[in-house]
Each structure stands twice: as C-alpha cells, then as structure tokens.
Amino acid sequence: MKILIIGSGGREHALAWKIKKSPAVKELYCAPGNGGIASIAHCVAIDPNDIEGLAAFAQEEKIGLTVVGPEVPLVAGIVDAFEEKGLTIFGPNRNAARLEGSKVFAKEFMQKFGIPTAPFKVFEDINEAMEFLAVAPVPLVIKADGLASGKGVIVCEKIQEARDAVQQIMGQKIFKEAGSRIVIEEYLFGEEASILAISDGRNYMILDSSQDHKRIFDDDLGPNTGGMGAYSPAPVITEEMLRKIGMQIMEPTIRGMHKQGAPFKGVLYAGLMITDDGPMVLEFNVRFGDPEAQAVLPRMKNDLVDVLQASCSGRLDKIKMEWDKRSCVCVVMSSGGYPGDYTIGKEIKGLDTVKESQIIVFHAGTKKEGSTIVTAGGRVLGVTSLGNDIEQAIARVYKAVEKIKFDRCFFRRDIGAKALKHLHPSPQTTMRR
Ligand code: AMP
Ligand code: GLY
C-alpha cells in the first residue's frame, strides 16, 4: 500500500520511521517532509494546508492511507474532503476536530459531560471580560478560542497581565478571528502529563503515558515553546491514575462526542494537570503530540499501520496494544533565540557520528542542501534514546546530543529530571509524608 504523511516536524519523522517498519507499506510519501524524512520517504512539495492539492495527489497516486500530523488541516476539514473523494485518511473530521479548534467548544463539552477541567467563563465582549477581571482572583489563564500556533494561552500571575492579554487578544486582535471569543479559567496547580488515545469513534485505546517540557529553559522557566523534550512512560501516571483518566476523561469524551453526532476518530490527546483532586484537562488536541510522538512511538510494539487502519474502519476492538517496557527520552535541539527570533541555514555537523542502535535522531526544522543538512526552523532535531530505565535513556540521549553541533544550538539539560524525582524522592519529601 502507498501511504502519505502530512506535515514536516519531528512528529512526522517519528510517524514515518514507525510506519516504514510495517510490511504493509510499499511506498511512503510525506508532504512536505524535511531533511531527515527525505532519507526514508518521497518528499512531495505540497503545503499541509493545501487540502485540494493533497487530495488530488492522493487520488492520482492511489494512496491507500493518509496520516495527518498537524492540527490546522484537521480543523479545516481535510478528513471530510478526503472521505468525500472515497480516500482513507486517519484523523477526526471537522466536527470532531473542534475539540482542539475551539477552546469554547471543548470547555462547554467538558462541562456538559462532567469531565474534570478548570472552572471557566467565556467572553465575547471585551468590556465584560475587563469587568470580570476587576473581581477575578489571580493566577488565572486566558485562552483565545481558536488556533493560534500554540501562542493563544497566557498564564497571568498579576491582574494587569490579564488586562493586557485581553486587550491584545480582543482589542488589538493579535490572533485575528481566533481571539474573537476568549476563555478565562482558574489556574490549576500540579504536574502536567500527556495522555493520548486512539479511537475509531466508538472504541478507544489509551497509549502509554508521556510528559512534555513546554518551557524553553531548565526547571520549567521562560516562555512556552512547542515542546523542548519528552519522555515515556511518565511515572506521575500510576496505574490508579491511568484508570481514573480512562473513566473520568477518555470514556466520557469518546461517548459524549458520539452522542453529539460527532464521533471522534483519530488521536485524542488530553493535556492534563495531575492535581491533588485528580486528573484535570487543560486542553484537548486531536493529533499526536510533538515531541511526545518521538518518545512514545519507539516504545510501541504494534504495527502502527494496523492500528491506524483499524481506527479508520471502526475495528479497534480487534487490536491489543503492546509496549516495550524500556524508557524513551527525546531531547529537542533548537535554534538559539527560539521561541523568539532565530536564524536558519546553519550546517548541522556530527549527525553521522551518532551510530548507536538505541539512538534515533528525528529531524524537525531541517533541510537537505546538496550533501549537507542545514537548520530550517526553531525546533531542529529530536534526539531520542531508549534505555532499560529512564536513567540509562537520559545518559545515552545526552551523550548523543553532545556529538551534534550547529551554530547557536540550544537544548534543555533537564529532560527526564521530573521522572527521576518520582522514582527517587528526595529525603525531605520522604520525611514530609
Ligand atoms: P494549553 O495549550 O491549553 O495546553 O496551554 C498551554 C500551557 O498553559 C499548558 O501546557 C499549561 O502549562 C498552561 N495552562 C493552560 N491552562 C492552565 C490552567 N488552567 N492552569 C495552569 N496552567 C495552565
Ligand atoms: N507537545 C505539545 C503539543 O503537541 O501540542
């Protein structure tokens, strides 16, 4: 079968790497791909948002399965467009993708079906939002309703920051239409984790847990990024916690979407805060996480093509997921300056010196120029390692990271440190118990 992956990041390289292992694959295409994906798939220069162009390519090439990486085409209805043409595509349709495409939809949905999330209010009018802020306690979180390239969530410690955020989103319209409505919600305390499930609309399977590192600097300091590293499994998600997440979050979400006439097919990604009162949803995404996919997919023993096809055809009840018991850690190497301004076109050296079989170097913002690979984005590489335990995976991954060089390269040095804290609590923590 011919398979097409849509996207160009580390997530898509991880998907291509995993899909390529399936005996079902005859040809693998990626639109548009990147410098690393080019070595395992045919890269096709079509923009991920050019839905008509992608559907025409899939028809022409008789693509048997299309897998969508990023959220923008899903929210815009790529699944509807492909299915109208009789093409098989993995992911939610436009209606179901509202779980990520509209924060207001997601919050109201959670309220309706009793899914734990932070208390919130929705505003369409800037004056009403400002009036509410006059009496609202801080910290609080302001969220633009629509997609805003990961920049639409602002955590406010002080009320003036909240006023500025509302002014920018609703007054200056920095996110255009995506900010015509906002959610203001209570700040939740706890540790974050990512739980992904694959659903066929009725049945669902929860994938092994992972944890992202959203802030740019060590110890979770500095501005939010797309994600600076991830590991799987995440020890904060105990068996008991996973059971709660299944019962209180995944089950009612899949059932609720079905009941509303928008059955959810594809990856349902719950960004969670594990609070003293249990798991609470910060956000839903409707696709694999990036970099979570890089840490989770190397641990999946199943043939991913089987799983994706079962989601498309409503046969997920026939699949049993199997996981490698080892730990996996992914460290993102980024361009200095990211998530602010940065420069691209820097030669990446040392890639050929990383030869260990447990290491996979997933490419994100890279481009092939002749025989060299150069930087082409903010997040450049996701260096990933398996290890018998998380300590070994961390040690291995950082050894590999040290071998790769490019001008103004930046990476966090504490990916996985939170997992270690759970596994080896400090004496003070033990004493307090
Ligand atoms: P989201 O895109 O909704 O996941 O938000 C991005 C980040 O903002 C999350 O990963 C959290 O770090 C933070 N965040 C969002 N909502 C809340 C909340 N209610 N309380 C605390 N932090 C939050
Ligand atoms: N790692 C966060 C995301 O994929 O949205």
Backbone φ and ψ of 282, nearest 5°: -85, -40
Which ligand does the CA of 291 lie closest to? Answer: 2
Burial of 213 (0-12, 13-18, 19+ CB in 10 A): buried
**pLDDT tens track for 116-138:** 999 999 999 999 999 999 999 99
Residue nearest to atom 6 of ligand 1 (CA): 153
Cα–Cα distances in angstroms (integers) from residue 4 to residues 73, 229, 253, 290, in the given order = 14, 26, 28, 18
Q: What gap in Å lies between CA 170 and CA 123, rounded to an integer? A: 10
**pLDDT tens track for 50-95:** 999 999 999 999 999 999 999 999 999 999 999 999 999 999 999 9
CATH 2.40.50.140 fits 2-93, yes or no: no
Label residues 366-379 b or e (16+ Cβ within 10 Å = b).
Answer: bbbeeeebbbbbbb
Whether 428 has a pLDDT exceeding 70, the answer reads no
Share of the chain above pLDDT 70, in %: 98
Task: Determine the pLDDT at residue 240.
Answer: 96
β-pairing, 359-363 vs 215-217, is unpaired
Two tokens, residue 406: 């490019």
Two tokens, residue 248: 């209180």
Residue nearest to atom 8 of ligand 1 (CA): 153
348 Cβ below 6 A of ligand 1: no
3-state helix, strand, coil in the chain (%, to 5): 35, 30, 35
Whether 225 has a pLDDT exceeding 50, the answer reads yes
Candidates 3.40.190.290, 3.30.420.40, 2.40.40.20, 3.30.1490.20; CATH matching 119-186: 3.30.1490.20
The answer to pTM > 0.85 is: yes
Q: What gap in Å lies between CA 270 and CA 264, rounded to an integer? A: 13
The Å distance, Cα 228 to ligand 2 centre, comes to 10
Query: Which one of 100, 140, 141 would you pick to mutate in the ligand 1 pocket, going by the greatest count of ligand atoms within 8 A of its CB?
Result: 141
The CATH code belonging to domain 191-318 is 3.30.470.20
Domain boundaries, the chain: 2-93, 119-186, 191-318, 327-423
DSSP 210: B
Whether 429 has a pLDDT exceeding 70, the answer reads no
When pLDDT is cut at 50, 70 and 90, the band that residue 425 belongs to is confident
Q: Which atom of ligand 1 is nearest to the CA of 271?
A: 4
Instruction: Single out the residue of 59, 65, 12 nearest to residue 40, CA to CA.
Output: 12
Helix (H) / strand (E) containing 409: strand 409-410
Burial of 298 (0-12, 13-18, 19+ CB in 10 A): buried
Instruction: Single out the residue of 317, 286, 320 nearest to residue 73, CA to CA.
Output: 286
**pLDDT tens track for 264-290:** 999 999 999 999 999 999 999 999 999
Residue nearest to atom 4 of ligand 2 (CA): 289
Which ligand does the CA of 215 lie closest to? Answer: 1
Q: What gap in Å lies between CA 381 and CA 105, rounded to an integer? A: 34
The Å distance, Cα 357 to ligand 2 centre, comes to 27
CATH topology for 327-423? Glycinamide Ribonucleotide Synthetase; Chain A, domain 4 (3.90.600)
57 Cβ below 6 A of ligand 1: no
Neighbours of 429 (CB within 10 A): 11
212 Cβ below 6 A of ligand 2: yes
Two tokens, residue 369: 């120029």
Q: What gap in Å lies between CA 295 and CA 284, rounded to an integer? A: 19
